[in-house]
Amino acid sequence: MEDRLRQVQEDNEKLLEAVIKSETQVREMSVEREQMKRSIVKLLQRKGNFDNSIKVCKNCSKEYSEKENFNWSCRVHQSEWGGEMWWCCGKRGKEQPGCKFSKHETKDINEEEYKDQEAQEQEKLRRQKQQKCKSCKEIGHSISECPRDPNFRTNTDVN
């Protein structure tokens, strides 16, 4: 048994050495790969074929280039995640691809769009202040934000 134990320990040490050697090779190869990527990018830039216009989509938050932006590139869901499934298409699993297809839209906002968004937000706030709740009939909030219980019979005595 002792001989068998020594043999297993020796095999274990050899395997550990092989693992360490493999890990160092992986690190060296990944560094070399990154250097190769950088050199390829530099060569393409010198040649003039490199596309610097990589943008981020405001709907799906993925990176894209205009050359590869098609009508089916951006996939998002039309509704919110319901906990078990998407309400828009019934797909189960939060990682499921979207049911709405479109082109990617850039996240960059110019000044005019920014001003329009600010004006829309101010208009929305103004409307909320004038809004009348359908549950309690008070002004300043909607039924979804109502602090009172919408069920009128909750506080009634059963007897």
> Could you tell me the CATH number of the domain that includes residue 76?
4.10.1130.20
Any domain includes 156: no
Q: Same structural domain for residues 30 and 74?
A: no
**pLDDT per residue as tens digits for the range 4-59:** 999 999 999 999 999 999 999 998 998 898 888 888 777 776 666 555 567 778 88
Q: Exposure pattern of 101-113 as b/e (b: 16+ CB <10 Å)?
A: ebebeeeeeeeee
Dist CA 146 CA 138 (whole Å): 9
Tokens describing residue 19:
């693992």
Any domain includes 26: yes
Q: Same structural domain for residues 31 and 1?
A: yes
Task: Please answer whether residues 85 and 77 qualify as being in contact, where contact means their C-beta atoms are separated by less than 8 angstroms.
Answer: no
Predicted structure pTM score: 0.36
Dist CA 62 CA 118 (whole Å): 25
Q: Same structural domain for residues 73 and 97?
A: yes
Any domain includes 70: yes
Domain region containing 131: 109-143
Three-class secondary structure of residue 85 per DSSP: strand
**pLDDT per residue as tens digits for the range 58-92:** 888 788 888 888 888 898 988 888 778 888 888 88
Nearest to 96 by CA among 82, 116, 107, 111: 82
Task: Please answer whether residues 67 and 50 qualify as being in contact, where contact means their C-beta atoms are separated by less than 8 angstroms.
Answer: no
What is the number of domains present in the chain?
3
Task: Please answer whether residues 140 and 125 qualify as being in contact, where contact means their C-beta atoms are separated by less than 8 angstroms.
Answer: no
